[in-house]
Amino acid sequence: MLPLHASVAELEGLDVPSGAYGMGSLAWLSRALVSPLGQLGPADLRLLLGHGRGLRWLLPVALERLEREPFAGGDHGPGELLTAALAVDPAAWAADPSWLPRLAAVVATARAQVHVLPERVRGRVAGDLEAVRELFGF
């Protein structure tokens, strides 16, 4: 069971003082690091996945969100969480044997539904889904 009340900083033993990174995207990163897992939105998850921090805690949270909403968006539009998840090192996904089959199911759902995305993001997401064939084989 995931400790949804805990933050990545707590779970990873990171010391992130209040306001540690000042303003801008680094401030957003520090806020995401200290936010409880259960309160992270798609944009927070995207940011943390991109930084590779706390993946063993974040990947199951991201999977749960993607299983409900494959094209969960945030500050960069629809599909941003999926794009970030697909960019995570395949070795991190292999850390838990249940994660890759779940990711494969999300990818299959996304491929079947990619046509519903706005044209401005459809090509990017479709390209990410195609690249997954080479990385993961599904």
Q: pLDDT tens digits, residue range 4-15?
A: 999 999 999 998
Kindly report, residue by residue over 65-100, the tens digit of the pLDDT. 999 999 998 778 899 999 999 999 999 999 999 999
Using only C-alpha atoms, the chain has a radius of gyration, in whole angstroms, of 15
Provide the residue count of the chain: 138
For residues 103 and 85, the answer to whether their CB atoms sit within 8 Å is yes
Kindly report, residue by residue over 116-130, the tens digit of the pLDDT. 999 999 999 999 999
Question: Which token pair is 81?
Answer: 């969480």
Give DSSP secondary structure letters for 91-117.
HHHTTSTTHHHHHHHHHHHHHHHGGGS
User: Can you tell me the mean pLDDT for 43-57?
Assistant: 94
Closest C-alpha to 58, from 85, 89, 86: 85
For residues 39 and 79, the answer to whether their CB atoms sit within 8 Å is no
How many C-alpha atoms does 94 have within 13 Å on its Cβ side?
5
pLDDT of the residue at 68: 97
Confidence of residue 21 (pLDDT cuts 50, 70, 90): low
Confidence of residue 56 (pLDDT cuts 50, 70, 90): very high
